Chains A and B, each alone.
Chain A
Amino acid sequence: MKENTEVLKTLGDSILEYIKRKPAVPGAIAVTVVIAIIIGIAGGPAQVVNAIVAGGMWALLATGLTMILGVMNVPNFFHGESFMVGAYTAYFIFTPIHLYLMDNPNKFLSTIAPFAGFFAAAVIGFILGSILEKLVFYPLRSKTKERWVMNSFLLTVGVSYILSNGVNLVLGPNFRGIPRYWDVPPIKFFTIRLTVDRLFAFFLAMVVLLLLWYFMGKTRTGRAIRAVSQDEAGAAMVGININNIHTLTFSLGTSMAAIAGAALLFMFQAYPTVGLRPLYYAWYVVMLVGLGNVSAAVVGGFIVAFLQTATQQFFGIEWGEVVPTVVMMIVLIVAPSGIFGSEVKGIQEQ
């Protein structure tokens, strides 16, 4: 009994300590909760659930982005194109299976068919990430480290252009979409209706994030990634092959964006410029919570989702980009390194 109170007390102390160190954090969370309540009153609980489901996806996207940023100091502009590649991959894997199933119904196969798409997207995203890292960022890194952040940023801009226009060239500008992954009636819950697709997209995001958390915290390689992000020279000194870790990180980040693209295919569809909005969202999150702060990106995903839902509820859908951007600008002015604090070294360079 006594032990319990003591544990509680230390917990309380550490929370207080944290709040003292970063007063913006509880403020941001409090504001989000207030927004959530207002949305709930004005738009009903379904609107809140919407925001939560969307938040899961932005969290997944932003985590990939912030990981690449934290470990490699590469501010990735083609994260949206990774999303696009994932969407296309899922489409091309899922559609033939789907067509086959239309003629030969098979309950088991139709339950697992979407997974083939997700898995393929993850793998293709991973491969794409490693190829690009070796082809573009490795040469730059071995050339010069001067102005690294800015130069690598511009490289990702170039890659983004090549990818989206390359896909346009090869596959054409056509939209490729699916009606839905699982053709079952939506789940009803009070006034809330959620399709299995959306629910699963959220679920998938959470599982991937959980796996990532485990991987980063508990495995040797995951620890090596964190070590590289904290001190590159130190990591080299303990015998970590930094180049491999960079490639791995990049591939993981890209793969996560691709998974998001695959999971949201039913909503976004696949076309060459589909990645633009996801890219905006991911950057909103990352700038909001602080560059390279992986765990905070998850929280940030939900904050941004609530902000967007509130914008659409109260301002109208055409203000969807303006209001969140202005909020981000204010955040940047007030807290340049994000509300949770940046964890990136070297980003302060000129």
Chain B
Amino acid sequence: MRKSKLVTFALVLSLLLPFSVMAGGKQEKEGAGAAETAEKVFTLGILGPFSGPSARTGKEFRSSATMAFEAIDWKIGEYTIKPVWIDSQSDPAKATQAYEQAVVQDGIQAGILNWHSSVAVACMEITAKYKVPHFFGFGATEVVNEKFHSNPDKYGYWMYKGWPTPKKLSVNYVQALEDAIEEGLWNPGEKTFAIYGEDTDWGRSFGKGIKEQLEKAGWRMVAEDYFPIEQTEFYPLLNKLKGINPALIAGTSTAPPSFSSFIKQADEVGLESLIVADGLGWVGEWYKLTGTSSNYVIDQIPGWATEAGKEFAQKFKDQFGIDPSPSSGGLSYDGTRFFIAVARKAIEEYGELSSESIYNFVKNFVWEGKWSFKDGIVMSEYAATPETVPDPVVGKGYYIFPVLQYFDGEGKIIYPPEWAVQKLQVPSK
């Protein structure tokens, strides 16, 4: 009895202790903060899925953002950048809580990056509520654009997406396939397809987009399935698809464990359809998970187009021990540097680095197409026009993903024709 009482007493003490420690500690912090303002600190929130099913992407985000800021010694003009890492955990509700906490507690003045569309949609509320400009927030789907356009004054704080709506990119798949059929490289027999994908804004938006485009090209849909983001067992689903045997299955997922399992198990059950797996290659180590079962799979992924890009990839690997993928590591690196460039211009233009100056610069210059970022390592130019906002300008010379097909872990570009290194190949049945 005595011992247990002691234990509880210790428990109560341990519960109360942080109360007082915290009260003291926080005040100190506030004091320190006042001193720091003299040195001009800019607090920047960096949003990403640092834990949860897309943590691998989160790691690339964190690493590449760190690299971009280390290159400038965390200084823009006379401002020192203080990063606040906001973990979205791939869940919009958790992300908004974390984001709001970062705003009220850490006082972030601007935000950059993000991965999921659903997180983007939810966080747009917070950026609107606190008038915090957020930049390069990926989150591709139309829902983001719709929300943006429903009230640009309010939701315009979600300033620039860094990834166009999936439709704008998925049309390339349809074009590549149609070309192949025309050239007689592929004879799908009946033009049937099935849609699969993770049950998120992104997955559904991609599915909807490519479905419309395929149907327009005379294809017929025979099945549509969306699965929870953490699903890893697909045997029943794939067997069902095998029974239906569509000529093509197309879909996407942002969670590597789920996606690699899907591809692997599709091979195992002997699914004969051609597979479009949008985003399979978005994490550096996808081939370690899928092995040769990814052969013949079609994907869209930006490459390391420039020397600078290849250099970045090497440096990244040396520093963090993982292979960056152009679409997460590379794009987030570009996005971060895009932000740095914007911040410099904002100081130049308005004399200070603040939420307002960034918001105003982007609104008055970037949105109007008067200024763009041309120093990217993945895309040649990140621009916007009043028509595309908040999307980047898509097309050759701007933002474009080539379509490629995997063979033994290597992606061979098959579209657009001028970049193609080989033609579409179809497994012999």
Binding site for B on A (CB under 8 A): 42-44, 46-47, 50-51, 54, 168, 172-175, 177-180, 183, 186, 188, 193-195, 198, 266-269, 271, 273, 308-309, 312-313, 316-318, 320
Asked if residues B56 and A174 are in contact (CB atoms below 8 Å), the reply is: yes
Asked if residues B237 and A312 are in contact (CB atoms below 8 Å), the reply is: yes
Known: A312-B236, A316-B225, A317-B225. A271 touches B257 (CB 8 A): yes
Asked if residues B51 and A50 are in contact (CB atoms below 8 Å), the reply is: no
**In chain B between 160 and 215, which residues have their CB closer than 8 angstroms to a CB of chain A?**
199
Residues of A with C-beta under 8 A to B56: 174-175
Asked if residues A173 and B55 are in contact (CB atoms below 8 Å), the reply is: yes
Asked if residues B240 and A312 are in contact (CB atoms below 8 Å), the reply is: yes
Known: A43-B240, A308-B236, A313-B240. A177 touches B226 (CB 8 A): no
Asked if residues A173 and B260 are in contact (CB atoms below 8 Å), the reply is: no
CA distance A268 to B258 in the complex (A): 9
Indicate which residue in A42, A50, A180 contacts B235 across the interface (CB closer than 8 Å): A50
Beyond A186-B270, A193-B268, A195-B268, 14 extra complex contacts between A and B, CB < 8 Å: A43-B240, A44-B242, A50-B236, A168-B51, A173-B55, A174-B56, A175-B55, A177-B288, A183-B291, A266-B264, A268-B232, A269-B257, A269-B289, A317-B234
Asked if residues A44 and B51 are in contact (CB atoms below 8 Å), the reply is: no
Number of cross-chain contacts by CB at 8 Å: 98
Indicate which residue in B52, B231, B243, B264 contacts A317 across the interface (CB closer than 8 Å): B231
With both chains docked as a complex, state the minimum distance between the C-beta of A190 and any C-beta of chain B, in angstroms: 11
Residues of A with C-beta under 8 A to B226: 317-318
With both chains docked as a complex, state the minimum distance between the C-beta of B239 and any C-beta of chain A, in angstroms: 5
Asked if residues B291 and A180 are in contact (CB atoms below 8 Å), the reply is: yes
Residues of A with C-beta under 8 A to B52: 173
Show 16 A/B contacts (Cβ-Cβ < 8 Å), sorted by A. A43-B236, A44-B243, A50-B239, A174-B56, A174-B59, A178-B289, A179-B288, A179-B290, A186-B268, A194-B268, A267-B261, A269-B289, A273-B230, A308-B236, A318-B199, A318-B226
Indicate which residue in A193, A273, A313 contacts B269 across the interface (CB closer than 8 Å): A193
Residues of A with C-beta under 8 A to B261: 267, 269
**What is the size category of the interface that chain B forms with chain A?**
35 or more
CA distance A188 to B56 in the complex (A): 35
Across the interface, name the chain B residue whose C-beta is closest to A271. Answer: B257
Interface of B is mostly: helix
With both chains docked as a complex, state the minimum distance between the C-beta of A305 and any C-beta of chain B, in angstroms: 10
Across the interface, name the chain B residue whose C-beta is closest to A317. Answer: B227
CA distance A173 to B257 in the complex (A): 12
CA distance A193 to B266 in the complex (A): 11
With both chains docked as a complex, state the minimum distance between the C-beta of B298 and any C-beta of chain A, in angstroms: 20
Known: A173-B51, A269-B232, A269-B257. A44 touches B239 (CB 8 A): yes
Residues of B with C-beta under 8 A to A177: 257, 260, 288-289
**In chain B between 60 and 77, which residues have their CB closer than 8 angstroms to a CB of chain A?**
none
Which of A44, A175, A188, A193 has its CB near the most chain B CB atoms (within 10 A)?
A175
CA distance A178 to B232 in the complex (A): 13
Residues of A with C-beta under 8 A to B289: 175, 177-179, 269
**In chain B between 91 and 140, which residues have their CB closer than 8 angstroms to a CB of chain A?**
none
Chain B 220-261, CB-CB to A under 8 Å as 1, else 0, gives 000001111011111111011011000000000000110011
Residues of A with C-beta under 8 A to B239: 43-44, 46-47, 50
CA distance A312 to B293 in the complex (A): 23
Asked if residues A198 and B236 are in contact (CB atoms below 8 Å), the reply is: no
Residues of B with C-beta under 8 A to A46: 239, 242, 269
Residues of B with C-beta under 8 A to A316: 225
Asked if residues B268 and A318 are in contact (CB atoms below 8 Å), the reply is: no
Residues of A with C-beta under 8 A to B231: 317, 320
Residues of B with C-beta under 8 A to A267: 232-233, 261, 265
Residues of B with C-beta under 8 A to A268: 232-233
Across the interface, name the chain B residue whose C-beta is closest to A316. Answer: B225
With both chains docked as a complex, state the minimum distance between the C-beta of A245 and any C-beta of chain B, in angstroms: 27
CA distance A138 to B180 in the complex (A): 68
Known: A173-B51, A269-B261. A318 touches B270 (CB 8 A): no
Asked if residues A318 and B269 are in contact (CB atoms below 8 Å), the reply is: no
Residues of B with C-beta under 8 A to A43: 236, 239-240, 243
Residues of B with C-beta under 8 A to A198: 268
CA distance A194 to B268 in the complex (A): 7
Residues of A with C-beta under 8 A to B293: 179
Which of B239, B243, B269, B290 has its CB near the most chain A CB atoms (within 10 A)?
B239
CA distance A320 to B199 in the complex (A): 13
Across the interface, name the chain A residue whose C-beta is closest to B261. Answer: A267
Asked if residues B236 and A47 are in contact (CB atoms below 8 Å), the reply is: yes
Across the interface, name the chain A residue whose C-beta is closest to B260. Answer: A177
Across the interface, name the chain B residue whose C-beta is closest to A50. Answer: B235
3 A-B pairs with least C-beta separation: A179-B291, A312-B236, A173-B55
